[in-house]
């Protein structure tokens, strides 16, 4: 079982400490949710796990499959099996979804075997068609420039399409529900659920509870001021929905 | 139009003019056009940076006295032309091909195209066999006074391509020509002359090339003159992949008559230094011209494109997009001008130049310009010089794509709008390959 273990993680951005000793373990087959008010460090955690160079780890470890991955670049982490669905996917003008995905797949194959010739075009097409059908995406989508002029829903669907194509072992969904209407939310969630299984660990980062009606976590964590302050089952999310974050703030104000 | 003033006031060390003789004029020195141009050449010196058009392209280190016109006595064995240059078109077979070296010319043309009255031949043959048709275009558009190189090409062209398409003839298959040069000290002086009669149409692909890594110092000087008569259509793709020690100078001017359309693609990959003037004159109502340029430079390359979109008649449309990426210590210049004459009302002119700087030592100058003398027109322009952004690269890396691959992908994407305008898979592939090769050093 490949676990992602985050141990006493401390992270600074431009000299300011955002994560202040965060601990969390996610195993394959588990769905975790991190909830918390804005500005508490949720996205910092997501970017740090993926290896964004703008986030400086000042303490702690990130262990994946038994190895500390802090020294790995983002592409190496990805090939090791970590995936981040971005809150704000970046547009790459001039690069089609299909070209991009093929390059991503071939990068994996070449890393495993430098002699690899890459996936054949027919194999790639078949695979892509299948994954796009799963997410109810128009095949013409593959020919569009990546995230360029995409609606909010299209961007998030494209993220899940990438996840389906790259088959990670740990997927981090950063505010995947933001900017989605109910229909888009349902389609995206169904996509994630279809990928869910014993081989995938999921970390859902969200501000609102509503996504958790669709993607059901076994574990819910509340984050405040750069650490996890409360962990529990699905009922914890419901409690937040009912009572808001104020009770957490009151309880942990002194921690900050 | 531009009047270039010569500047005798600044003292330069080293010679400033060529030493060719009138007897080197092709076929016979009695050719009036060439002889007049030769007189201009004789009194013209190398421009220095005080001349506006040459302000950003310094010829101080140009060894003007080290070039000569080769004769058969100088004949050297040239390497084979690479396969990818011979076959730039994957999807389409061409209808004719001319391959020119300093020592030989081979010409092939499909029978049915020949029978339709199309002339597709080299300059030397054209001067003896088709003087009347040649007269209609040779020396009619590029003024030898524009620069010493314009005068050189106008007077002493030794080789080149002449295309003449009669009225209403639509040439379905593209014509293709190649200049393939080699030899240290070679002056490769050429003309490309294209004349389309009314409602004729043609696709023409030309490439100038020499062995990439050859140390040979070569001068290429070329005048291109293109006339599209009423309703004619030309798609012209020109690519240069000169070797690393080639000095490349080109004066190119097209004249587009009423309702005619020119789709012009200019790709610059090679040479040590390139100075290219390319002008479109829209002289008839409803004439349209599109210019698409791309360049990717590395090492110490210097590529300078000077473009002019002249709207001389009403309801004319021009659209220019030049995109470039720069590596290492290379430098590019794009200077463009849209001119709209007083009575060229309801014209529409557009120009944009986008540059991507991939090295802190590279530099791109981008200078758009408008000169509008009519009041009912639409003219817009844009120029940008930017760097690779960090966020797209991180995004691609987060999908397992290594840094170098991610950068190539973003650069390829940057050029995609230009690639979309190139009708040949083979040319697109060549350019993609050049991006990858230059970025993988």
A179 found inside a domain: yes
Query: Phi, psi (5° rounding) for residue B201?
Result: -145, 150
Q: Domain ends where: A101, A117, A149?
A: A149
pLDDT digits (tens, 9 = 90+) for A109-167: 999 999 999 999 999 999 999 999 988 889 999 999 999 999 988 999 999 999 999 99
Q: Does the beta carbon of B115 lie under 8 angstroms from any beta carbon of chain A?
A: no
CB B171 within 8 A of CB B95: yes
Q: Say yes or no: A8 and A80 in one domain.
A: yes
Best residue in A73, A90, A106 to probe B by mutation, most B CBs within 10 Å?
A90
Neighbours of B197 (CB within 10 A): 20
Question: Using the beta-carbon criterion (under 8 Å), do B399 and A53 form an inter-chain contact?
Answer: no
3-state SS, residue B337 = strand
Using an 8 Å CB-CB cutoff, list chain B residues near A89.
Answer: 395
A114 shares a domain with A64: no
Indicate whether A70 and A97 sit together in one domain: no
Chain A: closest CA distance from residue B405 (Å): 8
Residues 6+ apart with CB under 8 A from A4: A24, A25, A26, A49, A62, A63, A64, A82, A170, A201, A203
Q: Which residues does chain B have with pLDDT short of 70?
A: 1-14, 29, 88-92
Alpha-carbon gap: B387 to the closest alpha carbon of chain A (Å)? 14
Same domain, A11 and A132: no
Same-domain pairing of A243 and A126: no
The structural domain count of chain A equals 2
Claim to verify: residue A129 and residue A22 sit in the same structural domain: no
Residues A73 and A55 in one domain: yes
Chain B hits for A104, CB-CB cut-off 8 Å, are 396, 399-401
Beta sheet of A56-64, edge-to-edge order: A16-27, A3-13, A56-64, A67-68
Of B390, B399, B413, the CB nearest to A94: B413
- The CATH number linked to A51 is 3.40.50.300
The pair of structure tokens assigned to B214 is 């050859």
Do A109 and A69 share a structural domain? Answer: no
Q: Which of A24, A21, A23 is nearest to A11 (CA)?
A: A21
Tens of pLDDT, residues A230-239? 999 999 998 8
The set of residues, in sequence order, having a beta carbon less than 8 Å from that of B420 and lying 6+ positions away, is: none
Residue A160 lies in a domain: no
User: What is the torsional sign of CA A194, A198, A199, A200?
Assistant: positive
* B416 neighbourhood in chain A, CB within 8 Å: 93-95, 145
In a domain, A134, yes or no: yes
Provide the terminal-to-terminal Cα distance of chain A, rounded to the nearest Å. Answer: 35
Whole-number pLDDT of residue B168: 98
pLDDT per position as a tens digit, A206-244: 988 888 989 999 999 999 999 999 999 999 998 888 888
Same domain, A246 and A137: no
- Domain limits at A137? 93-149
d(Cα A21, Cα A12) in Å, to the nearest integer? 11
Helix (H) and strand (E) counts for chain B?
9, 20
Q: What was the pLDDT predicted at B1?
A: 43
- Give B420 to chain A, closest Cα distance, Å: 10
In this predicted model, what pLDDT tens digit does every residue of B282-310 receive, in sequence order?
A: 999 999 999 999 999 999 999 999 999 99
Question: Is the CB of B397 less than 8 angstroms away from the CB of A75?
Answer: yes
Q: Are residues A120 and A10 in the same domain?
A: no
Shared domain check, A243 and A181: yes
Q: Is B8 on the interface with A (CB under 8 A)?
A: no
Q: Does the residue A114 lie in any domain?
A: yes
Interface ipTM above 0.90: yes
Residue identified by tokens 């990670």 is A168
CB A63 within 8 A of CB A57: no
For A107, which of B392, B402, B416 is closest by C-beta distance?
A: B402
Quote the tokens at residue A168. Answer: 């990670």
């Amino acid at each position: 079982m490949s676990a992602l273990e985050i141990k006493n993680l401390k992270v600074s951005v431009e000299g300011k400490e955002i994560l202040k000793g965060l601990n969390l373990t996610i195993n394959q087959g588990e769905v975790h949710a991190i909830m918390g008010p804005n500005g508490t460090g949720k996205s910092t955690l997501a970017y740090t796990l993926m290896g964004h160079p703008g986030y400086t780890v000042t303490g702690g470890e990130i262990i994946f499959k038994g190895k500390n991955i802090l020294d790995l670049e983002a592409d190496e982490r990805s090939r090791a099996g970590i995936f981040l669905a971005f809150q704000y996917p970046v547009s790459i003008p001039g690069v089609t979804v299909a070209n991009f995905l093929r390059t991503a797949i071939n990068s994996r194959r070449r890393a495993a075997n430098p002699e690899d010739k890459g996936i054949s075009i027919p194999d790639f097409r078949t695979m892509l068609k299948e994954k796009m059908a799963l997410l109810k995406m128009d095949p013409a989508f593959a020919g569009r420039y990546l995230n360029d002029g995409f609606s909010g829903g299209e961007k998030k669907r494209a993220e899940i399409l990438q996840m389906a194509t790259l088959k990670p072992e740990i997927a981090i969904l950063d505010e995947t529900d933001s900017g989605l209407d109910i229909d888009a939310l349902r389609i995206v969630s169904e996509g994630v659920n279809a990928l869910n299984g014993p081989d995938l660990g999921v970390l859902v980062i969200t501000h609102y509870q509503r996504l958790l009606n669709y993607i059901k976590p076994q574990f819910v964590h509340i984050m405040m001021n750069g650490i996890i302050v409360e962990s529990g089952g699905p009922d914890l999310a419901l409690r937040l929905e009912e009572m808001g974050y104020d009770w957490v703030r009151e309880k942990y104000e002194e921690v900050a | 139009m531009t009047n270039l003033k010569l500047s005798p006031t600044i003292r330069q060390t080293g010679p400033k003019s060529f030493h060719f003789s009138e007897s080197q004029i092709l076929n016979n020195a009695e050719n009036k056009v060439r002889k007049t141009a030769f007189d201009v050449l004789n009194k013209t010196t190398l421009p220095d940076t005080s001349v506006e058009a040459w302000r950003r392209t310094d010829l101080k280190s140009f060894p003007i006295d080290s070039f000569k016109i080769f004769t058969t006595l100088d004949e050297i064995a040239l390497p084979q032309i690479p396969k990818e240059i011979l076959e730039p078109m994957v999807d389409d077979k061409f209808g004719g091909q001319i391959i020119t070296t300093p020592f030989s010319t081979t010409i092939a043309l499909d029978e049915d195209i020949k029978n339709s009255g199309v002339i597709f031949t080299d300059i030397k043959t054209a001067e003896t066999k088709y003087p009347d048709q040649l007269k209609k275009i040779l020396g009619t558009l590029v003024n030898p006074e524009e620069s010493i190189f314009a005068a050189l090409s106008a007077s002493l062209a030794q080789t080149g391509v002449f295309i003449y398409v009669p009225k209403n003839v639509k040439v379905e298959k593209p014509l293709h020509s190649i200049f393939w040069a080699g030899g240290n000290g070679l002056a490769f002086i050429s003309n490309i002359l294209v004349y389309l009669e009314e409602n004729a149409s043609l696709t023409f692909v030309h490439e100038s090339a020499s062995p990439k890594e050859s140390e040979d110092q070569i001068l290429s000087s070329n005048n291109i003159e293109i006339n599209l008569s009423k309703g004619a259509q030309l798609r012209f793709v020109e690519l240069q992949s000169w070797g690393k020690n080639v000095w490349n100078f080109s004066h190119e001017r097209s004249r587009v008559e009423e309702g005619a359309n020119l789709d012009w693609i200019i790709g610059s990959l090679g040479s040590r230094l390139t100075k290219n003037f390319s002008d479109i004159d829209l002289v008839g109502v409803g004439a349209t011209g599109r210019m698409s340029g791309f360049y990717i430079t590395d090492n110490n390359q210097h590529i300078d494109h000077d473009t002019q979109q002249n709207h001389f008649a009403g309801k004319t449309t021009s659209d220019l997009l030049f995109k470039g990426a720069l590596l290492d210590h290379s430098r590019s210049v794009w200077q463009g001008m849209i001119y709209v004459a007083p009575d060229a009302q309801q014209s529409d002119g557009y120009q944009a130049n986008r540059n991507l700087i991939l090295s802190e030592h590279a530099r791109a100058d981008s200078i758009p310009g408008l000169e509008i003398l009519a009041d009912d027109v639409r003219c817009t322009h844009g120029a940008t010089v930017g760097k690779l952004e960090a966020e797209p690269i991180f995004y691609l890396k987060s999908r397992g794509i290594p840094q170098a691959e991610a950068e190539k992908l973003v650069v390829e994407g940057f050029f995609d709008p230009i690639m979309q305008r190139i009708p040949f898979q083979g040319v697109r592939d060549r350019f993609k390959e050049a991006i990858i090769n230059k970025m993988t050093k």
